[in-house]
Structure 1
Amino acid sequence: MKISGNNIRYAALLLLLFATSVLGVQAEIRHIITSRDGLSSMSVFCLHQDRSGYMWAGTYEGLNRHRGYDIDVFRSGFGETGEISGFLIEKIHESDDGALWIHSNYGYDRFDPSTMRAEHHPEINGSYQSGVSPSGMAVAMEADGTFYYYDRKARRFRKAELSESRYSDVIGFSFDGNERLLVARPHNLHAYTCRPDASGCIHFVLADTFHFNTAVKYMCRAAEGGFYIVDEKYVIYNLDENLSELKFVCGINPPARMRGLIGGLVCADDRIVVGFKSEGAMVVSPSTGAVRLLDIPFGVFDLYYDNNQHILWAATDGGGIYTYCNGPFDFDSDFFSDFSDLNISKQARALYHDKNGDYWIGTKGDGLYQLSRDADGRSVQHRYTVANSVLSHDMVFNIIPGRFHDVLWLGGEGAGLCYYSFADRRIKRLDVPDNPQFRCIHAVAEVSDSVLWAVSNWHGLFRVTLDNSLSEPRIQSVTQKLVNISEHGSSQFFTIRRQGERWLWFANRENGVYRLDLMTGEICNILFDHPLAENCLHFVGRGNVPACCPRSVAHARQLLCAFVLA
């Protein structure tokens, strides 16, 4: 049958399997983290990602650690070492040893994430500036100009002289890569070097001054190096580490002037994102000057961009944490109803592009579709069903290319194991009459030319021995692998993945995953104890074995068998 009047845009059919939100030009996914997710307060002042990848958020009601699937909250209090001195967390800094310095209204605490213990320093409180040097020295400047630095040996703060008496107009307080303390004001920036004396006390000596031609309103550290400067005309510059060159980046006036004070600024790939304390954030393209507003109806106090995962995090005043990420592809949606002769009315459950360039669609009740082109380049459709082939059921849930055999294994309902033979260009079926439980095979994995493993929707695991002396697969024997299923578990297995030459991973409904050692034959069960996982897995991937659950994704690390939901 020919498909008339339509060009098949195969890639778009993925939308029938995976949901994608399209905002504007790019596929952009927005997620909001709120108190319902465990956030201690909807007013979030600061964000920080530590070296382990955890996201930390300082809110109006304590310190939060976002672990991907839940949130740990560390509230204020003086009785417990794990509590933070103050309830309002304004800044989070990370030291060279992995400790976090928590800037709160009632103390500047050193918090160790590995032990969950806090070292309290309530003597520094109220309104103050804070920072941590690349070597891990924490510093603070109080409103009256009193300056402190942290003595690691004594585990306490010491006072030091700093020729900065005016606190109110400080717009930037940070360290550069050369261990110099930078204190920025609207018209100049002072750089101080740290010099210890014979007694071990540290003195801060003015080493350099950089003068701004136009008054500066905002300054922050740039993740890619140097500093971002925004002047009173809302022009963004980049100042290098040596304080020697100020480069123009882009202008954001007038849209920025309408929004007032800047709460955060980050570089996200080739774009600049600016958040405003009054309301919202904008994405600016420095090359074109194009401006796009993000749909954040709250003030933005801080921004963070994860360069590894390409996720933008925004701390808002009353709206929790907004995250944005771009999908790896942009999709143009085509529905089955758009193709007059493609009569698919059921859900699509499998999609595969084979070595010949043909596309295969497995459906939940309409059989298997093969979309190809004839010698003249015209689109041709072949539909395989129970009525016109040996397909055992019209539900096809999986399409797996053969590893040692020139076939496509078809996972689905019905008796036996079906496959498509490239040599004969037709569907074939492997039946096992003496084993009626060998049915509803959803997935297979070939471990050699004579052995494959199969998982059943109802009857567990099977080891299948094939006769490799023939040109096409033939079953010699089938052995059912018995596994210990918990009282509330299920014998339903949905997928299987091979890891190297030794391990097979099986995903079970309600009972976690099973790992089979092909050398010893031993099989172990790994359960998920987190409620979001619900111990119901549908797909096990490659690499570190990510497993897809109904509401989350888990990663199993091979050696420790420890799972982290992401």
Structure 2
Amino acid sequence: MKKFTGTHLLCFILSLVTHINLCAQEFYFGHIGPQKGLTASSVQCILQDYQGFMWFGTTDGLFRYDGYGMTVYRHNSRDSTSIGSNYILTLFEDTDSTMWVGTSSGGLNRFDREKEQFIRYIHLPDDPNSLSSIFVSALTQARNGDFWAGTWKGLNKIELKEGTITRFVHDEQDPNSAPSKWIHAICEDSSGAIWLGTEGGLSHLDMQSGKFTHFVANPNIANSLSSNSVNAVIADRDGILWVGSSSGLDRFDREKQRFMHFNTDGGVLSLFQESSGALWVGTGNGLLHFDTKTYQSTKYIHNPQVSWSLNSNIVQSIYEDRTGVLWFGTRKGINRLDKQQRRFKHLGHNPDDATSLSNNGISAVHAGVSGTIWVSNWGDNGLQINKIDSKTKRIIRSLPGLQSNDLQRGGG
């Protein structure tokens, strides 16, 4: 028979006292790595296709996950129908359920599911109807059907039916021309305008005029963009534009043309709004769950002592599948978060911590009417009483004047 420790007993009893949050629940991050066939560690992008398969774009190939194992697609220099590069930058499935893969040095790849082959679209110096670069880093499809590809050398609009490509090129003499820097992110807002996150700031394309407006960081203007290195841009369901850069998170007020800055304790690498409306912010120093109404956030980081914590603090990609499960790509593989699965945070004795329980030998637990938790321990010094504040989780040991029968009469 399995023996219960004091901390197991405490958490079991308190789990029955539903109005008290002493054993604070934490998110349980499941990990997918080599044991499931994900042999590449750095996950750049994530997609669920119309068939339900999960796709992971990595720095060493494209992986398809069926819930049990992986199928990997890698570049083969002897096979022109293989994927153009092993370094995957972005994934997208269009309205016709065609999957597109943007790569580093291998151009844009269209996946033929029936033949399990890739058709490549690359840059050809003498062909203006080709992509502006073989480095394709961002993809999206507008509501009107326009398909956009951001590259390391500008923006491209692709007519999927005709197969034609229009390049938007930078003109040094025209301040309203396309940005010249590497495009990291593309999004469409509620008005149909296109926003670009680039290495030269944030750019806005007015679809009617065809003109670009550029927003850049200015150290002399407090409400300007916080950094010119913009890695992620999303328009939330309320029409608010959120910008993730190397300096943190910005909220853009389009009426006042001002940016509100939020410290994320690390540069922002990825942004995603989940179905509940909350914003997930992937940074180089952990993962933030951000409330867009209150501006409050909860941070999740890797803890080597906790097997279900985030497996890396570098969160490069975020995705929510059709069942509401969240997927996070990091430098060490995939984290899978089903928010219905939780873990209890255990409280126990730590000889080096005066704010921990006085002993793990728990003999009784009582919840007072004010929410205070009383815990009695039997140890080398006999009966000891611990008072735990249910809000702050602060533990005070061996309160004077309390006897063991106080736990039966009540208190708190």
Paired residue secondary structure (2:35): helix
Shift of 1:109: 1.1
* 1:281 matched to 2:287: yes
| Per-residue CA distance 1:308-358 (angstroms, 9 max, x = gap) | 4332211112x111122222678799xxxx999xxxxxxxxxxxxxxxxxx
- Rate the CA distance shift 1:224–1:52 in 2: closer, same or farther, 3 A: farther
Shift of 1:83: 2.3
Whole-Å Cα distance in 1 between the matches of residues 203 and 67 of structure 2? 39
Q: Amino acid of the residue matched to residue 325 of structure 1?
A: D
> Who is 2:243 aligned against?
229
Q: Amino acid of the residue matched to residue 205 of structure 1?
A: G
8 Å contact kept, 2:271–2:280: yes
Whole-Å Cα distance in 1 between the matches of residues 206 and 162 of structure 2? 23
Shift of 1:64: 1.4
What RMSD over aligned residues (CA atoms) do the two structures have, in Å? 4.2
- Rate the CA distance shift 1:142–1:23 in 2: closer, same or farther, 3 A: farther
Whole-Å Cα distance in 2 between the matches of residues 297 and 172 of structure 1? 23
8 Å contact kept, 1:222–1:266: no
| Per-residue CA distance 1:180-218 (angstroms, 9 max, x = gap) | 432346665321427xxxxxxxxx811767788322444
Whole-Å Cα distance in 2 between the matches of residues 182 and 25 of structure 1? 40
> Who is 1:120 aligned against?
120
> Who is 1:292 aligned against?
299
Whole-Å Cα distance in 2 between the matches of residues 38 and 221 of structure 1? 31
Gap runs ≥5 in structure 2: 1-8, 16-20, 124-130, 171-175, 218-222, 303-310, 347-361, 365-412
> Who is 2:400 aligned against?
none
Shift of 1:168: 2.9
Match of 1:265 among 258, 263, 271: 271
| Per-residue CA distance 1:59-92 (angstroms, 9 max, x = gap) | 1121112222222222123655762111100011
Paired residue secondary structure (2:30): strand
Gap runs ≥5 in structure 1: 1-8, 16-21, 195-203, 341-566
Alignment of 1:100-499 (within 5 A): 100-105=99-104, 106-113=106-113, 116-123=116-123, 124=131, 125-134=133-142, 135-145=144-154, 147-155=155-163, 157-159=165-167, 164=177, 166-168=179-181, 170=183, 172-184=185-197, 189-193=203-207, 205-206=210-211, 213-217=223-227, 218=230, 219-222=232-235, 224=237, 226=239, 227-230=241-244, 234-237=248-251, 244=255, 252-253=262-263, 256-257=264-265, 259=266, 261-268=267-274, 269=276, 271-277=278-284, 279-285=285-291, 287=294, 289-295=296-302, 296-306=311-321, 308-317=322-331, 319-327=332-340
Is 295-304 or 111-120 further displaced after alignment?
Answer: 111-120
8 Å contact kept, 2:108–2:122: yes
Q: Amino acid of the residue matched to residue 300 of structure 1?
A: V
- Rate the CA distance shift 1:36–1:247 in 2: closer, same or farther, 3 A: farther
| Per-residue CA distance 1:397-420 (angstroms, 9 max, x = gap) | xxxxxxxxxxxxxxxxxxxxxxxx
TM-score (norm 1): 0.45
Whole-Å Cα distance in 1 between the matches of residues 206 and 157 of structure 2? 13
8 Å contact kept, 2:288–2:298: yes
Paired residue secondary structure (1:68): coil
8 Å contact kept, 2:233–2:271: yes
- Rate the CA distance shift 1:59–1:232 in 2: closer, same or farther, 3 A: closer
8 Å contact kept, 1:48–1:55: yes
Paired residue secondary structure (1:36): helix
- Rate the CA distance shift 1:190–1:26 in 2: closer, same or farther, 3 A: same
- Percent of matched pairs sharing the same residue: 19
> Who is 1:55 aligned against?
54
Whole-Å Cα distance in 1 between the matches of residues 167 and 68 of structure 2? 42
Q: Amino acid of the residue matched to residue 329 of structure 2?
A: A
* 1:45 matched to 2:60: no
> Who is 1:31 aligned against?
30
- Rate the CA distance shift 1:38–1:173 in 2: closer, same or farther, 3 A: same
Whole-Å Cα distance in 2 between the matches of residues 143 and 332 of structure 1? 45
Paired residue secondary structure (1:193): coil
Shift of 1:129: 4.4
8 Å contact kept, 1:46–1:58: yes
8 Å contact kept, 1:276–1:301: yes
- Rate the CA distance shift 1:328–1:291 in 2: closer, same or farther, 3 A: closer
Paired residue secondary structure (1:263): strand
Shift of 1:157: 3.5
> Who is 1:539 aligned against?
none
Alignment of 1:492-531 (within 5 A): none
Shift of 1:151: 3.5
Shift of 1:37: 0.9
- Rate the CA distance shift 1:94–1:38 in 2: closer, same or farther, 3 A: same
Whole-Å Cα distance in 2 between the matches of residues 136 and 266 of structure 1? 22
| Per-residue CA distance 1:418-462 (angstroms, 9 max, x = gap) | xxxxxxxxxxxxxxxxxxxxxxxxxxxxxxxxxxxxxxxxxxxxx
Shift of 1:225: 5.9
Q: Amino acid of the residue matched to residue 155 of structure 1?
A: G
Paired residue secondary structure (1:327): strand
Shift of 1:46: 1.0
Q: Amino acid of the residue matched to residue 270 of structure 2?
A: G
Whole-Å Cα distance in 1 between the matches of residues 148 and 295 of structure 2? 40
- Rate the CA distance shift 1:320–1:332 in 2: closer, same or farther, 3 A: closer
- Rate the CA distance shift 1:288–1:280 in 2: closer, same or farther, 3 A: closer
> Who is 2:409 aligned against?
none
Whole-Å Cα distance in 1 between the matches of residues 141 and 339 of structure 2? 33
Whole-Å Cα distance in 2 between the matches of residues 326 and 141 of structure 1? 33
Paired residue secondary structure (1:120): strand
> Who is 2:353 aligned against?
none
8 Å contact kept, 2:41–2:333: yes
* 1:94 matched to 2:93: yes
| Per-residue CA distance 1:376-414 (angstroms, 9 max, x = gap) | xxxxxxxxxxxxxxxxxxxxxxxxxxxxxxxxxxxxxxx
Whole-Å Cα distance in 2 between the matches of residues 232 and 65 of structure 1? 30
Q: Amino acid of the residue matched to residue 272 of structure 2?
A: V
